[in-house]
Amino acid sequence: MTEKDSLNTIPVSKYMTKNIVTATVDQTIQSICSLMHKNNIGSVVIVRRVVDGLKPIGIITERDIIHQIGKVELFSTQSSVRELMTSSGNKDLITITSDTSVSDAISTMHANNIRRLPIINSKDKKMIGIITNKDILKTGLDERRY
């Protein structure tokens, strides 16, 4: 089996991070930056709380924050996350399901110029994980060992 064939058959659930750091739209940029710093991460998934879980509605990344700081003269860390998060406009948050192949995840990331993909349960659309470009690098390293 070739490395490419393996990536076509390995589900993202094998490499996804299950403990996702989340926030809600009413939180401030300052609180998001604090979460990122405390957890040593580059993004926070913005969720809406539903009866039996969390529904991802957006994502905010270090890049989103830096781009906003760079384009305005006065930046307030007390601004709402709603103003900066990806998917705050008309675009829906791009997600995949846990049975999506690593190869398809790579294609989705490349086609949409993104580095992180929230993973949802295909039945109830609740978030169960996230896969990042770093996680995908690990798949290549694992495949090279065999």
Distance CA 13, CA 129 (A): 8
- Is 18 a residue whose pLDDT tops 50? yes
- 22 forms bridges with which residues in the sheet? 45
pLDDT of residue 17: 94
The CATH number of the structural domain formed by 3-145 is 3.10.580.10
Per-range mean pLDDT, top range of 1-15, 22-36, 40-54: 22-36
Region 76-102: mean pLDDT is 78
Tokens of 101: 């192949």
The structure's pTM equals 0.81
